[in-house]
Structure 1
Amino acid sequence: MSTTLSNDSLAQDFVAFAVQSQVLRFGEFKTKAGRLSPYFFNAGLFDDGAKLGRLAEFYARRLIASGLQFDMLFGPAYKGITLAAAVSIELARLGHNKPFAYNRKEAKDHGEGGTLVGAPVQGRVLIIDDVISAGTSVRESIELIKAAGATPCGVTIALDRQEKATANGQDAAESAVQQVEQHYGLPVVAIATLRDLLQYLGAQSDPALSAFHPAVEAYRQRYGV
């Protein structure tokens, strides 16, 4: 159900932007699953107005191109809060004004109270996050959205790592993204994927970047789906 295709200029532009912003780095990094990855994507480093605005533009363009129908955005705490706000601004600029909401980690017992903040959670709700690692954030978001009487209709992320999920230290047959798609029946719209990253590295004339292609390809061969 993933709507990101290879040979995708939007994805290639996004990967280049992430590398230039040093959000996407190469070397040796230990993942949550304990794997040694040759690349690391940290969306928390989209940390100024210009970079966040450009990131929001990529999300908005991908969502509009996907044709996915949704009534509002929901950003899981914490990274999803900034993403939901920024992308709603960009969508409105492009003529698609959508409300957004997000959750608190701890319930508030004064003022408006509760764990949900922002617009009323209703209709078809699109969850926005940076990546899907274990699916925990998505699962919790789905529970909050359903408890509010609304309908989760999809998930949008910046990067799909396209690698096997882990459970109890064992590799699963599917990726975390595929598990979300299969277990919840929700489409996942990614700006770019590991396949797009490999395409970007393979097309590089800069030897400092192209040198990482073999390591990323080997990682994909070992852990990819």
Structure 2
Amino acid sequence: MNNLRQQFIAFSVSAGVLRFGEFTTKAGRQSPYFFNAGLFHEGATLAQLAQFYAQTLLDSGVEFDMLFGPAYKGITLASATAVALAGKGRNTSFAFNRKEAKDHGEGGTIVGAKLRGKVVIIDDVISAGTSVRESVDMIRAAGAEPCAVLIALDRMERSGKDGALSASSAVQEVGREFNIPVISIGNLEDLFGYLSGPGADPELAKHTDAVAAYRARYGVESA
């Protein structure tokens, strides 16, 4: 793990956003951990999260012109990341979508800057990839180019349901389908390293075996 990734996992745990125990995922799996970016609901934690998004995007080397946040969580994430990028000397426009088209005023479904050039889609995680696909369609319909997806945590697990599991993760499938990179601030390997590495909190380290078993059952080799 590089230092930024280590800091992100530690930050998510301390903020109560990354939790360990027994949780049921959207896919119906019993997971030993749960990540809920919606719990970054205070100014200080949101500001710090945006710093991680901004620095990860800059470090990626991806060339981009603007940000796009799919409704609903992506709205706050894209907005906050634009502020963080400005603080790092990169003034970047952003836009987001409404779930329902507005039939008065400026109308339409897109709010913010006009979609143009190379656009980075910003969201919290990719589960089924639905919001990314919808975002790609909107961006292309406006004549712009989706150039990357930036997420907080890549769970690095096979998509589908038990009995019909894919060999790939939703993140991998999205990357291949649209031929764009999916960049994550942290992933399951970083999380596992945080639990099992030297100096790990003993209370958290006791979840290592459960996470390892989950990874063995559902994990993919690489993001």
8 Å contact kept, 2:8–2:185: yes
Return closer, same or farther for 1:157/1:205 CA change in 2, 3 Å cut-off: closer
Q: Distance in 1 between matches of 2:146 and 2:140?
A: 7
Residue identity in the other structure for 2:116: Q
TM-score normalised per structure 2 = 0.96
8 Å contact kept, 2:82–2:92: yes
8 Å contact kept, 1:11–1:191: yes
1:218 aligns with 2:213: yes
1:129 aligns with 2:129: no
Q: Distance in 2 between matches of 1:146 and 1:108?
A: 20
Return closer, same or farther for 1:101/1:169 CA change in 2, 3 Å cut-off: farther
The DSSP-based 3-state class of the residue aligned with 2:64 is: coil
8 Å contact kept, 1:130–1:157: yes
1:147 aligns with 2:145: no
Q: Distance in 2 between matches of 1:134 and 1:222?
A: 18
Q: Deviations over 1:52-73 (max 9, x none)?
A: 0000000111111111110000
- Select which of 165, 189, 193 maps to 2:187: 193
1:113 aligns with 2:107: yes
1:170 aligns with 2:164: yes
TM-score normalised per structure 1 = 0.95
Residue identity in the other structure for 2:165: D
Query: How many residues end up aligned between the 2 structures?
Result: 219
Q: Deviations over 1:65-90 (max 9, x none)?
A: 11111000000000000001000000
8 Å contact kept, 1:155–1:189: yes
Q: Deviations over 1:148-172 (max 9, x none)?
A: 1111101000000000011697211
8 Å contact kept, 2:118–2:147: yes
Structure 2, unmatched stretches of 5+, are none
Structure 1, unmatched stretches of 5+, are 1-6
Q: RMSD in angstroms over aligned alpha carbons?
A: 1.1
8 Å contact kept, 1:33–1:169: no
